[in-house]
Amino acid sequence: MSNPGTQQAAQLNFLSPEEMADPGVSIQRLYAGDRCQYYELFDPPFYVLSRYEDVNHVLMNPTRFLSGSGQGPNFIEPGGIVSDAPMHTFYRQLVQNDFKPGSISKLQPRLEAIAEELLDAVEGKETWDLHDDFSFPLPVIIICEIFGIPTDDIAQFKMWSDYSVAALSSPDPTQYASELQRMQDYIVSLVRDKRPDMRDNSLMARIARARQDGATISDEDAVRIVTQLFVAGNETTTSLMTNLMMRLLGDGYRWADFCAGKIDVDKAINESLRYDPPLLAMFRTTAAEEDIAGVTIPANTKVMIHYAAANRDPKVFENPHDFDVDRPVRKMLSFALGLHFCVGAELAKLEAKVMLAALSKRQPNLQMINEGDRVGPFLFWGRSKLPVKPGN
Ligand code: HEM
């Protein structure tokens, strides 16, 4: 089989200002090149898959395309849910019941109450920030409550969460090591407090007391899974909310139609996830040599599966570059598929629904002042600022 002469659109550079500002630019460059492209601008270099069929193939073959070396471009040791069977099976079973639809729907009244409190706090303000004042605190507060930990320092949590996601896609993750160590130390003390308290039935207490092979799991393992859940759900859900509102408040001002009941809530959320995935891409590592579209990928090599590009595959989605809240729902890949399908998908969608209901009731004339700022890490897509005003 031939390699490595894969045709890469000359300019593909995920860190260039134009691709950072608009992932649609990366997507067009990816489709201008071959199905399987070799990307040398990162150390270590990796292969990129962008077509729906190929991303789907990788997701549905988790024993050939492994998760244990990390979901980012850097190689890391397997741990917690970022792993492969049997470790993955154990951790997934430990937490997934808490995130099933039946468990998540019970959180709705509490989410609605938090949303009301957050909107009370901006009531009467001439301008406010949809990221800072709403879409960042909502997911952080609810995940702290699910874990059974104090919510009095959410700014600190947010900072640690941001460092964790930055480390995931950074060429030099060591720069975040000392802050991340502080996060570990904080969580380890919570785990140790909760483990012996048998009246505490929170998710964190149950993780702390989980048993594997006849022994309670170590502090280190408990901290790892708590951290992973915490980090996986925050920035992503925040981004879903800001991305969705940026589109509804942007060109065409579909917010008025939404508030008039002309747009289906589920379709709007699905379309936001398809068009603006909070996680643009993730990585797998080849267990053995693989052949994709005539390209040989060596064993133990990182493969980027570009969710955002697969979501705009013209073979699957008509007019894929249009943001169209009325499009028929087809399976977008923004929560992945198969064994590693997002544990928190139901929670994230419910949070977005609660936001839409609360905002349409309280701020039906809302206007976007500008598109604010993009979140930092290149694998992520969302706003870190989204200034708005109540309108009239
Ligand atoms: C809109 C919000 C969210 C998006 C777009 C999202 C996206 C994803 C994606 C793409 C994956 C697969 C990762 C891979 O390919 O390796 C994933 C996995 C995961 N997500 Fe989410 N996620 C969101 C919210 C959440 C929330 C709220 C939680 C939990 C509180 C969560 C917990 C997880 C966990 C634990 C995994 C690992 C699953 C496994 O490997 O078995 N996510 N998510």
Domains of the chain, start order: 17-389 (1.10.630.10)
Q: What is the DSSP letter of 148?
A: T
Q: Which ligand 1 atom lies nearest to the CA of residue 307?
A: 10
Q: What is the pTM of this model?
A: 0.95
Cis peptide before 387 (omega within 30 of 0): no
pLDDT of residue 158: 85
pLDDT of residue 232: 87
Q: What is the mean pLDDT of each run of 10 residues along the chain (392 residues)?
A: 48 95 97 96 96 98 98 94 96 96 97 98 97 96 91 86 86 89 93 94 95 94 93 92 98 96 97 98 98 97 98 97 91 96 97 98 98 94 97 83
How far does residue 186's CA lie from ligand 1's centre (Å)? 23
pLDDT of residue 1: 37
Q: Which ligand 1 atom lies nearest to the CA of residue 351?
A: 27
pLDDT of residue 5: 45
Please report, for the chain, how many H helices and E strands are present, in that order: 16, 14
Q: How far is Cα 283 from Cα 67, in angstroms, rounded to an integer?
A: 7
CA distances from 52 to 10, 49, 330 (A): 22, 9, 12
Answer yes or no: are the C-beta atoms of 287 and 66 closer than 8 Å.
yes
Pocket residues: Cβ below 6 A from ligand 1: 67, 71, 81, 92, 143, 228-229, 232-233, 236-237, 240, 278-279, 282, 334-336, 340, 342-344, 347-348
Question: Which residue's CA is minimally distant from atom 4 of ligand 1?
Answer: 236
How far does residue 121's CA lie from ligand 1's centre (Å)? 30
